[in-house]
Amino acid sequence: MNLGLLHAADGFAMAMVVILILSLGIVALLAVGIYRSGKRRENEVEKLLEELRREEEEEEEQHKHPAPPTGAEEREPWEKDVDWWKK
């Protein structure tokens, strides 16, 4: 069906150009949205990161001061002797 305004091939090419422009516009809007949301970090994220830093510092502090070695009398009844595999 030819309305006389455009040739069929020209109409198809123009439709493809319009679809391409719309697609690129959507991708650009998504990129802008991701960029803007990345700049606005919520306060909760900062609190969680600070909590993780404190936990890591506490673990490092515990590794600096190890617990004293325990004797055989402090062993639980279900624990094996240290050299059980030599027997």
Question: Is the pLDDT reported for residue 1 higher than 70?
Answer: no
Q: What tokens were used for 48?
A: 């969680």
Distance CA 30, CA 46 (A): 25
Q: What is the pLDDT of residue 73?
A: 61
- Render 11-73 in DSSP notation, one character per residue: HHHHHHHHHHHHHHHHHHHHHHHHHHHHH---HHHHHHHHHHHHHHHHHHHHHHSPPPPP-GG
Higher pLDDT, 10 or 77: 10
Helix (H) or strand (E) holding 9: helix 8-39
Q: What is the pLDDT of residue 40?
A: 72
The pLDDT-based confidence of 43 (bands split at 50, 70, 90) is confident
What are the domain boundaries of the chain?
A: 7-62
Contact 14/6 with Cβ under 8 angstroms? yes
Question: Is the pLDDT reported for residue 70 higher than 60?
Answer: no
